[in-house]
Homo-oligomer: A and B are copies of this chain.
Amino acid sequence: MSANAQPGVNHDIRDPALAEAGRRRVDWAHLSMPVLQAVRKQFIKSQPLVGRRVGACLHVTAETANLAITLRDGGAEVVLCAANADSTDDEVAAVLVKDYGIATHAVRGADRETQRRHWDAVLETAPQVTLDDGCDLIGRLHTARQDRLSGVLGGTAEGLRGAAAEAVQYPVIAVDGSVTKRMFDNQLGTGQSTIDAILRATNLLLAGLTVVVAGYGPGGRGIAARARGLGANVLVTEVDPLRALEAAMDGFRVMSMTLAAEQADLVVTATGNKAVLAREHFEKLKNNAILCNAGHSSVEIDTEALERMASARREVRRHVEEYALRDGRRVYVLAAGRLINLATGEGHPASVMDVSFATQALAVEYLVKHYATLERRVHAAPAEIDRQVAKMKLESMGVRIDRLSLEQEKYLSDWPQGY
């Protein structure tokens, strides 16, 4: 624990003295998070989380700070650790400990061992609700720390799938299944922030470039749409025929990565899979091609294979590494293939996290209310939460929409007449 620790708040952060610098950031994020603020106002009144312990493993950023504060203001005891050591904002961590008394265990650049220690620090508090961006807490609870499983009433997570999803021992709301999350976080947020991060890393002019987007899930769609919106000619690669078809009908060229790589000025991977760019594709790239990754994990570009093809490697600009290939071509990799919008940008805009985190806060409330009747499996976010978040977001934008009249409601549910 750092020297001038906050009395009474268990924590492991860089330095509480950094709070000064982080305060403005938490406030600036607050400004762009009107939906979460609306939830917070409700929570302050209704106190739905009183007496509940919430353990959260999230990117420790200014936006997350606003979520943690909202949960706290709803009555919860909140303990926080980092979903990713690279994204931890030490100054924000300091604000949480110092100004808000929220137990935080997060240090930028912490090694894997320290991260595990931080997860365990959270689990030691016996959280009744877990929040995961990814599935770190859930993963640890179901593997190394099954001893802590029994006290958990429910949790939220993202990216739970396959065998892992089938094995969960408590009700988990998959917030990435919510409409608003998919719209804001996966599509709008990833779309803009990926392009933004590429521009910050390279200062490339996108107009006139051939940009290949690997993957046409919500993230890839957002990236493709924004790249086109900035004047690029966009190619899409996919493994799923429905998504491939959607890309084609959206006016994008669709082809295999082997063919796409030959034409690419810039490739952005957004598939959630590994080795999407591999040796067979590197062999086709044009001289000066630029590669980056917008997927969660850094395995999408097989940089090891690329390194084996290279005779030299150097950083030519911050976050831009040049691989001089033995055949004379040069290839550039951004941020070493790590998730680019976190590595070279600022992650999602606050207004994106606003919607995601409002959904999360309402999902925590929902779990606390309904855990007794929920099956122990992965659940979609309740439609009612989606609707409520959408309504609050529209209100924050000053948008009023129509309502069905009684007559219209009746019309919608009747058998058509005249048989």
Contact surface of A with B, Cβ cutoff 8 Å: 24-25, 27-28, 31-32, 112, 116, 134-136, 139-140, 143-144, 161-164, 179-180, 183-184, 188-189, 191-192, 195-196, 199-200, 203-208, 226, 228-233, 237-242, 244-246, 248-257, 259, 272-275, 288, 297, 299, 315-317, 320, 346, 348-352, 386-387, 390-391, 393-394, 397, 399-405, 407-408, 411-416, 418-419
In the complex the two chains form, is A256's CB within 8 Å of B139's CB? no
| Minimum CB distance partner of A27 in chain B | B316
By a CB distance below 8 angstroms, the chain B residues around A275 are 405, 407-408
In the complex the two chains form, is A273's CB within 8 Å of B399's CB? no
Q: Could you tell me the distance in whole angstroms from the C-beta of A91 to the nearest C-beta in chain B?
A: 13
| Minimum CB distance partner of A273 in chain B | B408
Q: Could you tell me the distance in whole angstroms from the C-beta of A389 to the nearest C-beta in chain B?
A: 9
Q: Could you tell me the distance in whole angstroms from the C-beta of A400 to the nearest C-beta in chain B?
A: 5
| Minimum CB distance partner of A400 in chain B | B256
Q: In the complex, A177 Cα to B401 Cα: how many Å?
A: 26
| Minimum CB distance partner of A274 in chain B | B411
Q: In the complex, A250 Cα to B229 Cα: how many Å?
A: 10
Which of A25, A32, A348 has its CB near the most chain B CB atoms (within 10 A)?
A32
By a CB distance below 8 angstroms, the chain B residues around A135 are 416
Q: Could you tell me the distance in whole angstroms from the C-beta of A388 to the nearest C-beta in chain B?
A: 8
Q: Could you tell me the distance in whole angstroms from the C-beta of A17 to the nearest C-beta in chain B?
A: 20
By a CB distance below 8 angstroms, the chain B residues around A256 are 400-402
Q: In the complex, A337 Cα to B311 Cα: how many Å?
A: 47
In the complex the two chains form, is A391's CB within 8 Å of B241's CB? yes
By a CB distance below 8 angstroms, the chain B residues around A413 are 161-163
By a CB distance below 8 angstroms, the chain B residues around A400 are 255-256, 259
In the complex the two chains form, is B244's CB within 8 Å of A394's CB? yes
Partner of A407, one of B28, B274, B297: B274
| Minimum CB distance partner of A297 in chain B | B416
Q: Could you tell me the distance in whole angstroms from the C-beta of A287 to the nearest C-beta in chain B?
A: 10
In the complex the two chains form, is B288's CB within 8 Å of A248's CB? no
Q: In the complex, A248 Cα to B188 Cα: how many Å?
A: 12
By a CB distance below 8 angstroms, the chain B residues around A163 are 413-415
Q: In the complex, A245 Cα to B418 Cα: how many Å?
A: 36
